[in-house]
A and B are shown apart, each in its own frame.
Chain A
Amino acid sequence: MSNSDKTTSLEASFVDAFEAYAGKPPPANAPMPVNGLAPLNAMQGFRRQAMERFRELGIPSRKNEAWKYTHIPEALARGFAVFTGGSIPDPGAAETAQCALAGLDAHIVVLVNGRFASEHSLIGNLPEGVAIGGLGTAASTHPDILRNHFGRYASWEEESFTALNTAFASDGLFVYVPKGKVIEKPIHVINLQKTNERLFLQPRHLLVFEGNTQAKIIDTSCALTGDATFTNAVTETFVGERAMVEMYLVQDPGNDHAVVSTTHVYQDAASTFTAATVTFTGAVVRNNLNVLPNAPHCETHLYGLFLPSGATQVDNRTLVDHAQPDCVSNELYKGVLNDRASGVFNGKVFVRQDAQRINAFQENKTIVLTNEATMNAKPELEIYADDVKCSHGATTGQLDPEALFYLRSRGMTKQQAQGMLLHAFAGDILNRISIEPLRRMLDERVTRLFGE
């Protein structure tokens, strides 16, 4: 009983924050929030609806099937102030620099507490028509793009966190790549967190890649200050006809930071979308990755690697919604659970009626290292078309004792042998990363984690 009371008060705090925020004019010095702009005036009513829906849905508890293994109310119980703008702290150039990836030549976008910080970003030269910046300013520079894409893919009717984000959405990453443009260098998004109070952050990203474009995006997080944060991020991605997009999400914010990251990807005909999500730390990390290949001949690759330790909970939920025929999707999630960590993999392949000739594969492999660690897997298939090839596999176990013995018989310590095998296990995912400096960084991080 006391638990549900707490939950109610949790929701009430968001409702109060919304009332205070929605009635408040945007601060003069801050980037213009989306709702203050003419093309999106209609947003005002939209936000209220989203807030209403959030109030109805509530913060998901473990009674909710989709959140059954992840303890969100507990993670929120510490109390977070909803960040709605105001002054953005200056992270400092030196500190920002340390969050960059060594040896990576990229268009660097810095977001501080979910707000675009142009003075710290190093976007550099871009092909004509390409825009990389904040969503807040994009509302005035690219109103048509926002009108056509914003809020179109991330449906908030059934997801309370998406509804909440939609109600508060004001800034985040904005990328627009017009038809036929190729961005050679990767776009590196650095999410900086700098705060002296416990903040609830809600960045909202919109990425639009029109037909025949190519781009690679790296998203990393960097916590500069002590206090805990809870991030509720929503990303909408449009991948146009024959476009090729790669997205890498690296989650290593430290164990004081909770993350709910929801990504919706819409794929147009013959496009290719690749995502890799690598998680090391976090209080609670929940990744919702929803891909809708909504035209024939799409290709979708989803990779995930989760290596939590301590008391970290990592919950990966993916949905590939095959609405149209002749598509291919391939999914591989691997995890190693140490200490008291818990891992969840809930992958769903959905094939709608008449989406024939789908070839979908899904695999999840997990190694549990300790008695206290827990793994919950729920790989699902929901198929309504007959001419398909769909399969999934899930395994959970420990390192192969014979392989360990082999290495030890060659003079390795147990730790070394174990480290080597775990490294090789993770290598399956790391080797799919096409950006060399990123792959190297992750490889070193994995080496540090498991020992040589």
Chain B
Amino acid sequence: MPTTETEFLHEVAAGEYKYGWETNVEADTIPKGLDEDVVRLISAKKDEPEWLLAWRLRAWRHWEKLAANPEEKYPRWPHLKYTEPDFRNITYYSSPSKKPRYESLDEVDEDLLETFKRLGIPLAEQEKLAGVAVDAVLDSVSVHTTFKEELAEQGIIFCSFGEAVQEHPELVQKYMGSVVPYTDNFYAALNAAVFSDGSFCYIPKGVRCPMELSTYFRINQAGTGQFERTLIVAEEGSYVSYLEGCTAPMRDENQLHAAVVEIVAEAHAEVKYSTIQNWYPGDNEGRGGVFNFVTKRGICKGDHAKISWTQLETGSAITWKYPSVILKGDRSVGEFYSVAFTKGRQQADTGTKMVHLGKNTKSTIISKGISGGRSNNSYRGLVKINKGAENARNFSQCDSMLLGDRCGAHTFPYIEIKNPSAQVEHEATTSKIGEDQMFYCFQRGIGEEAAIKLIVNGFCKEILAKLPMEFAVEAQKLLDIELEGSVG
């Protein structure tokens, strides 16, 4: 019956955030504000070498120039409506507890462990059972890294960004900013100036990483921006699957998250990057919620390299995110699989860029958008085939599903072709859950809520199946929870 279906969807759209609580961990936080001193202070707190400070300062000066001319330089082109954050009124560094490093789980604050438990990542258990090495980032400092030693045996470096700067400066210096330079965009510049921590991952030549590497991000301290940087380097013939998950406790004001992820894949290397993002989306009136402005890009540097992005986006008040692949090596492959779910007053403008430079390069884009409530969900993607990219191939598919009559679903694909041998296909559809589909379920005794979950899950199945096992289950659960109203 359509009326109850509507009611259910309304409830779904009005569903409250299930991860909203605050951990009372003593935090080492610097005062609000943004100027050159803050950049120097962050660098000093992290005991960074001179070259990194110099790089931060170059980025800072660049950002200042951009910020001085917001009319032209601030990214206003997305299909998003929000008040721009006051960048001078944010805390740019927050570290849990006075003592930022832990050697073993015993040293970790009880509250902190509880936080992880409630999030569903029992660190200790995962250590033993799942074989997942978790580099947990709480606010800005990496708290705990598991399985590090086991990985080290194979020559794999998996550590916090700060550690990498201290211990592997030559690698960081070589690759940092090589895929996303600080001049790339407004937020990339900001991140480069004030980034606090992040993850670093290096897979040596010919090594197949034996386990999924995973990082959890949490924004905890009120009014703190989280500016992490992730750098993944996969040497020739190596393989790694990297998972990233995020949740943020409930907050009234908007929190800013401006991350940068860089991936370098050398010849025959393969990197699979999976994300589950469920930052706090704000309440039903659109108050609060995380501003998620992320620059993610990978480069297939060598021939036959492959980078694959898979994402499930259910959170954030504002999402501005375009995980991209530069296909430089011949026969390299780029993939983007995405499910974006928005409800309440959430707004998402997300998609990908596939830049084909090498010959016989291939890219696949599959994007599923689901919008409910008063949310707006946009796909924005670019497929660019350069002159030298002989026989490039792209297939893009963007499907949108609308769960109400007050939300919006939009598609803005850009297709730019400069080579006649390119074969590029794009298709997009927009629809709602079919009455016939609902009828079919009812007929077989499947209740309304279960039917909607079933259909939405089916709609996303293609993408969820791309996630690593542990994640796929979690993702499906998350989607179910997001869809859950008070019905049942």
Q: Give the interface of B toward A (CB within 8 A).
A: 77, 79, 387, 400, 402-432
Contacts of A354 in B (CB 8 A): 405
Using C-beta atoms within 8 Å of the partner chain, give the interface range for chain A.
35 or more
Q: Are A395 and B424 in contact (CB under 8 A)?
A: yes
A393 to B411 alpha-carbon distance, docked (Å): 11
A386 within 8 A of B: yes
Q: Are A383 and B408 in contact (CB under 8 A)?
A: yes
Interface string of A356-384 (1 = CB under 8 A from B): 10000000001011110111111111111
List 13 other contacts, CB 8 Å, given A397-B423, A398-B420: A354-B405, A366-B417, A376-B414, A377-B413, A379-B426, A382-B79, A388-B432, A389-B430, A391-B429, A392-B411, A393-B427, A393-B428, A395-B423
4 A-B pairs with least C-beta separation: A386-B402, A377-B415, A391-B429, A368-B420
A381 to B409 alpha-carbon distance, docked (Å): 8
Contacts of A368 in B (CB 8 A): 417, 419-420, 422
Q: List 28 A-B contacts (CB under 8 A).
A: A366-B417, A368-B420, A368-B422, A369-B420, A371-B387, A371-B420, A374-B418, A375-B415, A376-B414, A379-B411, A379-B426, A382-B410, A383-B409, A383-B410, A383-B430, A386-B403, A389-B429, A389-B430, A389-B431, A390-B430, A390-B431, A391-B430, A392-B426, A393-B426, A395-B423, A395-B426, A396-B417, A396-B422
Contacts of A384 in B (CB 8 A): 407-408
Q: Taking chain A's interface residues, is the majority helix, strand, or loop, or is none over half, making it mixed?
A: strand
A431 within 8 A of B: no
Contacts of A395 in B (CB 8 A): 423-426
A390 to B429 alpha-carbon distance, docked (Å): 6
Q: Are A391 and B423 in contact (CB under 8 A)?
A: no
Q: Are A392 and B420 in contact (CB under 8 A)?
A: no
Q: Distance in Å from the Cβ of B280 to the closest Cβ of chain A? A: 25
Contact of B426 among A373, A385, A394 (CB under 8 A): A394
A65 within 8 A of B: yes
Given contacts A378-B412, A393-B425, A393-B426, contact A386 B420 (CB under 8 A): no
A387 to B423 alpha-carbon distance, docked (Å): 33
Contacts of A155 in B (CB 8 A): none
Given contacts A379-B426, A394-B425, A397-B424, contact A374 B405 (CB under 8 A): no
Q: Give the interface of A toward B (CB within 8 A).
A: 65, 353-354, 356, 366, 368-371, 373-398
A389 to B417 alpha-carbon distance, docked (Å): 28
A96 to B79 alpha-carbon distance, docked (Å): 50
A273 to B1 alpha-carbon distance, docked (Å): 37
The residue in chain B whose Cβ has the minimal distance to the Cβ of A374 is: B418
A393 to B399 alpha-carbon distance, docked (Å): 12
Q: Are A375 and B417 in contact (CB under 8 A)?
A: yes
Contacts of A380 in B (CB 8 A): 410-413
Q: Distance in Å from the Cβ of A381 to the closest Cβ of chain B? A: 4
Contact of B416 among A374, A381, A385, A391 (CB under 8 A): A374
A79 to B415 alpha-carbon distance, docked (Å): 32
A395 to B387 alpha-carbon distance, docked (Å): 18
Q: Are B432 and A378 in contact (CB under 8 A)?
A: no
A384 to B428 alpha-carbon distance, docked (Å): 16
Given contacts A371-B387, A371-B419, A383-B400, contact A394 B413 (CB under 8 A): yes
Contacts of B79 in A (CB 8 A): 382
Given contacts A368-B419, A394-B415, contact A386 B407 (CB under 8 A): yes
